Structure 1
Amino acid sequence: MGEREGNRRYDYETKLAAVRDHVEHGLTKAEVMEKYRIAGPAPLERWCREYRSGGPDALRPKPKGRPRGAKSKPRPAPTREQLLEEENAYLKARVAYLEKVDALLAWRSATGTER
């Protein structure tokens, strides 16, 4: 069986040489395809389009996969003031909760309702 020609990958130098031969030196697509063993006209046309719009750097390989995200920096240790503010907020919430419980118990005893 012959070598499969589809889904070939071409390195940057091959792409650039093929495009320059076609665009700048005037070789036909068929001549360029034969010279560089390009499987079909579609890749050559795409390379020429990219070369005309972005120059030689447009033919460089693109990174694969999902881009890396910014790494999160570790949180700095909280200051003493921040720790005291957090404790103060917790104690205020606890006092408010206990006051509501006391009010509920007082209301139940005053009205004489029980569960």
Structure 2
Amino acid sequence: MSKYSKEFKLAVINHYLSTRDGFRSTATLYEVNPAFIKKWVYAFKIHGQSSLIQGHKTYTDIFKHSVLQYMAEHQLSINQTAAHFNIASPATLGRWQKLYNEGGLAALQAKPKGRAPMPKPFKPFTPTNKPVTQMTPDELMQELEYRRMETDYLKKLEALAQQKHLASKNKSK
């Protein structure tokens, strides 16, 4: 929810456009930051009343890149570019520009938000006593993986026992 309603913004814009008051005197009259009025007026001149309706928008990396290119080609300020593309906050463009300068087009891609998905619960494998001829290919692969892990575990256990035995033998000498 924005701090100022659509009706209030429209009243401020109409006052500014219908009188000879500048941004500062209009800002003093309505007790608003002059930068807000300037932004509202520029956006209103380009987009009309639709510029006053701000919703949460997500932008693609391609759109972000094209906005930055447009700003560079036409030598526009961040505020002018934000007004031209009806982007709510010029700071958004500043952030895009910083990301693009540091990491290129890849840095403009949206990052996944929120928590990472929970891992699937671990299901321990229990070897079956089925004959090999009755097992499915998936069951055969699981059985093979289980047997390999079992063999690796036993080899490692034997190596550790041997290492411990050698260490105790060397200590006693």
Q: Normalising to structure 1: TM-score of the pair?
A: 0.53
Please name the residue that 2:83 is paired with: 34
The secondary structure found in structure 2 opposite 1:55 is helix
Q: Is the 8 A contact 1:47 1:59 kept in 2?
A: yes
Pick the aligned partner of 2:59 from 11, 19, 31. 11
Residue pairs, 1:18-29, within 5 angstroms: 18-22=67-71, 24-25=72-73, 26-29=75-78
- TM-aligned CA distance change 1:8 to 1:15, over 3 Å: farther
Structure with greater Cα Rg: 1
For residues 79 and 116 of structure 2, the distance between their equivalents in structure 1, rounded to whole angstroms, comes to: 37
The unaligned stretches of length 5 or more in structure 2 are 1-6, 8-48, 129-173
Once the two structures are superposed, the pairs formed by residues 1-115 of structure 1 within 5 Å of their partners are: 1=7, 3-5=52-54, 8-12=56-60, 13-22=62-71, 24-25=72-73, 26-77=75-126
RMSD of Structure 2 on Structure 1 (CA): 2.6
Higher share in helix:
2
The structural deviation recorded for 1:78 is: 6.2
Please, which runs of 5 or more residues in structure 1 have no aligned partner? 80-115
Greater length-normalized contact order (CA 8 Å, ≥ 6 residues apart): 1
SS of the residue aligned with 1:56? helix
Q: Residue 30 of structure 1: CA displacement?
A: 2.7
- Mapped to 1, the partners of 2:94 and 2:120 lie a distance apart of 39
